Structure 1
Amino acid sequence: MSETMDALRPEENKMGTMPVNKLLLTMSLPMVISMLIQALYNVVDSIFVAQIGETALTAVSLAFPIQNLIIAIAVGTGVGVNALLSRSLGEKNQKGANLAAVNGIFVFILSYIVSALLGILFSRFYFTVQTDNAEIISQGTAYLSICTIFSFGVYLEIALERIMQSTGRTIYNMITQGLGAVINIILDPILIFGLFGLPRLGIAGAAIATVIGQIIAMMLLLYFNLTRNPDVDLNMRGFRPHKETITNIYKVGLPSIIMQSIGSVMTFGVNKILLLFSETAVSVFGIFFKLQSFIFMPVFGLNNGMVPIVAYNWGAKNRDRIMKTIRSSIIGSVSIMFLGLIIFQAFPVQLLQLFDASEHMISIGVPALRIISLGFLFAGYCIIIGSVFQALGNGVYSLIVSVARQLLCILPIAYIFAKVFGLHAIWYAFPLAETMSLVLSTILFQRIYIKCIKKL
């Protein structure tokens, strides 16, 4: 098996030789497509849930911070694995690359065990601290319990995606993410409404459809990694945790975990503020997150294609390729966000009507979508710069920007505006926070350029 892998391994990884723009497109396009499919699933899932009733949509919206927390832990850990694995390959350190991969899988499994236990013990409590609506508590507990107990699918799916991505084989991620999302979309109406003679499961059916799609995607990714990825050996036989490797994974990954987890804290806090006015406002906020995924997911796909290129060429000490990759990524990201801004400004009513929005929901949702989307252009730039920090081994800078944006800006401004001006003013906290993030990200990038890039 080892000899076969050696024969398949190219003399030089394409991340160090292929023209940058072509490489970025090659790396990113499969991720963009797969994430667009994932975004489609997010929207379709909520459209079906909305047909159960507004309380179901509110329950799913309130559950979102915990689902986002699971994703944050998985993606943040993946950032650490990705950066360490790509850098090891750039340095031609095969042993280091293999250690990064197998120890990465190990810490992902530990993360799942913790998430499952917390889901079993605290799902109902999580909803009772937010609302006294018995229907929302019941629906939300059922939904969140299933998503956490069976979250091994999403944890290992992301782990295996990041390993494949680190070696430049993102086409397989497109296949698996796309298949998982399509399975979710197909199963949603079947399990929610009890089609083809199956029992009507309601909101629990939406959760079951989600975890089935994740598990199938995980299994396919495992197959692809074992048979189509000669750059990394995932043989766990005789495995022992490697302290230094795990430390290096979390040195980069932990700030990313905290940074992305802050998004869950922010969403939870904003939901609490919105509940001062109505449960419908919470549903609107949840709808916004589903809709914005159509804009942000392609940017994250571009972003995921960029990270291993920057990390690899940092390991290979190639400054020109690093800077060209960053510039091209920013141009692509801001262009996508500009298109999103136009859509949200021009068609807010039509977007809300996808979710059977009442007149009351539309009256709250139209200004919300138009105001929050004003920050899209700045967000596109900041997403790329934040991931550059992580790819260069300085995730603390990303953490600083995220804390400042979401905890020091969005939450305090949203609360003050809610108290002083009312519900519609809350949404202005988001573009104001993006403006601050733009300034701070630029200042920190100048510092890391001088420290890490300029002297290469």
Structure 2
Amino acid sequence: MTQSNKLTFKKLFKYFIISVTGKETEFTTGSIRKAIFMLSIPMILEMLMESIFALVDIAYVSQVSVNAVATIGLTESVITLVYAIAIGLSMAATAVVARRIGEKDIKGARESAVQAILLGIGVSALVGGVGFFYAKEILALMGAEPDLIAEGYGYTQLLIGGNITILLLFLINAIFRGAGDASVAMWTLVLSNGLNIILDPIFIFGWGPVPEFGVMGAAIATNIGRGTAVLFQLAILFFGWSSIKIGFKDVIIRAQVMFNLIKVSMGGIAQFLIGTSSWVFLMRIMSEFGSEVLAGYTIAIRVMMFTLMPSWGMSNAAATLVGQNLGANQPERAEISVWKTGKYNAYFMLLVSLVYLFFAKEIIGLFNDAPSVVESGGLCLQIIAAGYIFYAYGMVVTQAFNGAGDTKTPTKINFVAFWLFQLPFAYLGAITFKLGAMGVFMAITLAEILLAVIAIVWFKKGYWKKVQV
């Protein structure tokens, strides 16, 4: 290694340590490349932890039964509707908090954070009640067979019933990211997923005085892990260990601030409801081909999340940079940040796509060796990976709109790509033209390519720079 390379490596390592310890919080001045690195590293690690959680869950549950894996697939296709609300509120929280931080309005950022949390609590209570009392009916609606419902309804009941841990974990981390405290968000997920990895086998298979809960044990471990992380997040906010400190006097409803958050979040919620409801319908189509094909699809999606989550990390960095730089009245710096982030994300996704194209079946086989599971899961990985470079830019540009508070534009793009194109194509390909699962996989890839192209074209028009939040 040359002296120059040693210096570069030493510099990158120094920046890495600064980024994960959260010592750098100024992103509206200085090097854009450095700002992307400082925000992206903890966000990528945060999302990697989330995807590791998903992989660990599926690895343990795969040892229970094929029905158990299919139960997770069906439940999570429904709970993505909860994620839609969580992410929609999170986008609003990140956009508004980032804008206030960019304006140096710490009081406004604090007030927005409190109203976001109160909104999250209210929504999760409503969703949790429905999920807890109607778990069997939800699985039946998704096309689950009676034996699957009998084995897996407890998982569905606990996961949707305890959705407050999912929603608040998303939401409070979004507040931290908007404030530029990406490292804090990362460490909360390290705690959450570390606990889940330890508790999963204990509750799934039983250990000592803990009985064997099967697939339901995965939900118990998830709720304990995420619930503990939420308590940790609240402690950070109330004790002032981040850029935003909340006091008990702040925990009151502020109608104007809450209305502003709701206004911004409605576009985000609609945007992700469109995207995630399309996944629900895709899962419903996949259920037509039997539990083993469904299990292969579920495993493939979990494996994909391992690489899509880091990309989401870079995309979230772009959202924070856009929000803070617009708040600091620097729209051109915001735009440059987006294109640079998109380029780095594309490099990463290209490498991942090559791995999936060549080793898809071997990867699926690590989780389940049933031939039909490996066949369908491997095919899913290969077809979807073919569009990964488009995903890279699509995710970054979409999050840039959201970071600016322009949540309506991605909503319209999602509507065209997912509802007007993806769902009809998937049904026609899989059912009408009898392509089977391949029809669904092709629809997913082509829809994401379409989304990326439309998003880039609209982003270049620059209307997002004029949005006020």
Shift of 1:238: 6.3
| Partner SS for 1:211 | helix
2:61 is aligned to: 49
Cα deviation 1:51-79 (Å, max 9, x = unaligned)? 11101111111111222222221121011
- Residue-by-residue CA offset, 1:213-234 (whole Å, 9 max, x unaligned): 1011111122222334464232
For 1:132 and 1:126, the matched residues in 2 are separated by 9
Of the candidates 145, 161, 167, which is equivalent to residue 133 of structure 1? 145
Q: Distance in 1 between matches of 2:66 and 2:375?
A: 15
- Contact 1:83/1:391 (CA < 8 Å) preserved in 2? yes
Pick which of 312-321 and 376-385 moved more: 312-321
1:422 aligned residue (428, 431, 435): 435
Number of residue pairs matched?
Answer: 442
Gaps of 5+ in 2: 1-23
Task: Say if 2:304 and 2:381, in contact at 8 Å, map to a contact too.
Answer: no
Q: Secondary structure at the match of 2:180?
A: coil
**Which residue in the other structure is 2:8 paired with?**
none
Give the residue type in structure 2 aligned to 1:369. Answer: L
Q: Which residue of 1 aligns with 2:34?
A: 22
TM-superposed CA distance for 1:37, in Å, is 1.9
> Normalising to structure 2: TM-score of the pair?
0.90
Contact persistence 1:348–1:370 (CA under 8 A)? yes
In percent, how many aligned pairs have the same letter?
Answer: 24
State how far apart, in whole Å, the 2-side matches of 1:76 and 1:380 are. 20
* Structure 1 segment 76-225 matched on structure 2, within 5 A: 76-131=88-143, 133-225=145-237
Q: Structure 2 residue aligned with 1:74, among 65, 86, 105?
A: 86
Alignment of 1:401-416 (within 5 A): 401-416=413-428
- Within 5 Å, give how 1:327-366 maps onto structure 2: 327-366=339-378
Partner of 1:452: 465
CA offset at residue 133 of structure 1?
Answer: 1.8
Cα distance, 1:300 vs. partner?
1.0
Give runs of aligned pairs for residues 264-413 of structure 1, distance below 5 A. Answer: 264-413=276-425
Query: Structure 1 CA distance, aligned partners of 2:250 and 2:373?
Result: 57
Once the two structures are TM-superposed, the CA of residue 28 in structure 1 deviates from its matched residue by 1.6
Q: TM-score, normalised by structure 1?
A: 0.92
- 1:6 — aligned with what? none
Residue type of the partner of 1:140?
G
| Amino acid paired to 2:435 | G
Q: 1:123 to 1:391 in 2, by over 3 A?
A: same
Q: After TM superposition, give the deviation of residue 450 of structure 1 in Å.
A: 5.0
Match of 1:441 among 455, 464, 468: 455
Which residue of 2 is the match for residue 4 of structure 1? none
Distance 1:225 1:77 in 2: 18
Q: Residues 119-177 of structure 1, C-alpha deviation per residue, up to 9 Å, x if partnerless?
A: 12322111112335222112332111111222222222222212222221111211110
How far off its partner does 1:252 sit? 2.1
Query: CA RMSD for the aligned pairs?
Result: 1.9
The residue matched to 1:276 in structure 2 has which SS? helix
Distance 1:383 1:369 in 2: 18
Q: Distance in 2 between matches of 1:168 and 1:271?
A: 36
CA–CA distance in 1 between the matches of 2:93 and 2:49?
Answer: 25
C-alpha distance in 2, partners of 1:451/1:79?
15
CA displacement at 1:95 relative to structure 2: 3.1
Show CA shifts across 1:394-444 (max 9, x none): 111111111222212211101101121321333211221122112211221
Mapped partners of 2:101, 2:383: distance in 1? 44
Unaligned runs of 5+ in 1: 1-11
Aligned to 2:244: 232
Paired residue for 2:264?
252
